[in-house]
């Protein structure tokens, strides 16, 4: 098996994921933020349940994930951006001259790590929040919960993959985060409140993610609630991710390290 075989490249990139301290910490931070914040919100709601407007145990279970995704975005960005900042990308390209193979191995390794981390994070965060809600909580097998959890796992995984594509395009961790943070949070936390902008902003990744997780409000809700369903949300996220990955590949193929 040569160093340019797909299996060897994937193995090498998989080792990088788990041996670089910053990326490992980012995955742990994703878990800690998602589970910790979700549990705190659930405890707070349980203590003041009579004051909670539009109470939803599903939302309580996945609220932490909507914020914990930030650490997973950092994880995806660092997987690529750290190689450019350290100059190790030159070594990687010398070892694997076929740039498409190197890029594919890196993206696949990062996506698999994100999938594993997201699965554990989403399930534990949801279960922890429901335990904190006590008698107001629901089970993992309650109606609609399995599909919502699967949607949350898919969303987190795709967001990480999208982040790797963006980082490859701009070749800088700082610039990547400067692009991704507004893209992922501006729609739901800021401009999403402007009705005139909703027809466009509803197609941002974060809005599609909320729909995929079944925690978006109904259409016409103003702040949340795209006009498409979970199937459309998955298409939107896949389109964003594919565009980022294709752009990253074109930049890597045409530009020197």
Residue range 28-56, pLDDT digits in tens? 999 999 999 999 999 999 998 888 888 89
**Cα dist from 174 to 85, 181, 191, 256, whole Å:** 10, 11, 23, 20
Place of tokens 């991704």: 180
Of the CA atoms within 13 Å of residue 231, those in its CB half-sphere come to 0
3-state secondary structure of 66: helix
pLDDT for 124-145, tens place per residue?
A: 999 999 999 999 999 999 999 9
Whole-model pTM: value is: 0.90
Lowest mean pLDDT among 162-171, 209-218, 243-252: 209-218
Q: At residue 196, does pLDDT exceed 80?
A: no
- Asked if 213 and 131 count as a contact pair (C-beta separation under 8 A), the reply is no
Burial of 69 (0-12, 13-18, 19+ CB in 10 A): buried
């Amino acid at each position: 098996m040569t160093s340019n075989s797909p299996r060897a490249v994937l193995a090498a990139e998989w080792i990088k994921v788990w041996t670089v301290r910053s990326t490992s910490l980012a995955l742990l931070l994703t878990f800690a933020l998602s589970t910790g914040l979700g549990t705190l919100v659930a405890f707070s709601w349980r203590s003041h349940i009579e004051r909670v407007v539009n109470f939803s145990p599903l939302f309580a279970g996945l609220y932490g994930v909507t914020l914990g995704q930030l650490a997973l975005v950092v994880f995806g960005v660092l997987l690529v951006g750290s190689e450019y900042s350290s100059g190790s990308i030159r070594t990687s390209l010398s070892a694997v001259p076929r740039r498409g193979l190197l890029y594919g191995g890196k993206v696949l390794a990062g996506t698999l790590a994100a999938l594993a981390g997201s699965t554990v994070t989403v399930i534990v965060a949801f279960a922890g929040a429901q335990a904190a809600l006590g008698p107001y909580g629901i089970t993992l097998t309650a109606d609609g919960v399995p599909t919502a959890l699967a949607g949350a796992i898919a969303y987190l995984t795709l967001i990480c993959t999208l982040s790797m594509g963006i980082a490859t395009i701009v070749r800088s961790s700082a610039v990547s985060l400067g692009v991704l943070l507004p893209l992922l949070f501006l729609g739901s936390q800021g401009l999403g409140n402007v009705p005139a902008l909703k027809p466009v902003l509803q197609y941002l990744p974060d809005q599609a993610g909320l729909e995929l997780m079944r925690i978006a409000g109904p259409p016409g809700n103003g702040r949340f609630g795209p006009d498409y369903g979970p199937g459309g949300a998955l298409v939107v996220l896949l389109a964003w991710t594919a565009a980022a990955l294709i752009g990253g590949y074109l930049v890597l193929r045409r530009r020197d390290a």
